[in-house]
Amino acid sequence: MIGLSQEHLQTIRTHAEKIYPEECCGIILGHMANEGKTTVEVMPTENAWNTEAGAEFCGDQTVESKKRQYTIAPQVMLQAQKQARDRSLSIIGIFHSHPDCSAIPSECDRVYAWQGYSYIIVSVQNGKATEVRSWSLDNTHQFQAEAIENII
């Protein structure tokens, strides 16, 4: 389970609509506990996908570049880790959009995913954010649906 406020969800939707028709992405900071994750901040980031860098993992899927793939630059992840640590927070997840596709992870999403994180995907249909779903990896590196709970 991951808890997000309506403000967090709106930040994700707005970023997804702004970046459409490309995939948006961002980092989720918060707290991890046995009962789930609680979001404190959502940080929209630039989609730094580079076709050459991803080719070895995702094969022919790289042809459409940022319209079907995303990545967060390593230096941005490191800076987010430092900011989180300074505030006694953790990176608890990543969000991204699927332009004109469902909010279901792709094989490339699975290959790049890290265990322990929540992966929030927002479907953007014709420029409008619709379905928002969260996923996490199980012990066999397969995505399982994860509940999103509204926090105040």
**37-55: pLDDT as tens digits:** 999 999 999 999 875 554 4
Range of the domain at 124: 2-150
Residue type, 110: R
- Kindly report the pTM of this predicted structure: 0.91
Residues 28, 77: contact at Cβ < 8 Å? no
**Any idea how long the chain is?**
152
Mean pLDDT, the chain, rounded, equals 92
| H or E element at residue 122 | strand 118-125
The predicted model gives 72-91 an average pLDDT of: 97
pLDDT at residue 151 is higher than 90: yes
Number of domains the chain contains: 1
The predicted model gives 10-25 an average pLDDT of: 98
- CATH of residue 137's domain is 3.40.140.10
For residue 62, the model assigns a pLDDT of 46
For residue 68, the model assigns a pLDDT of 84
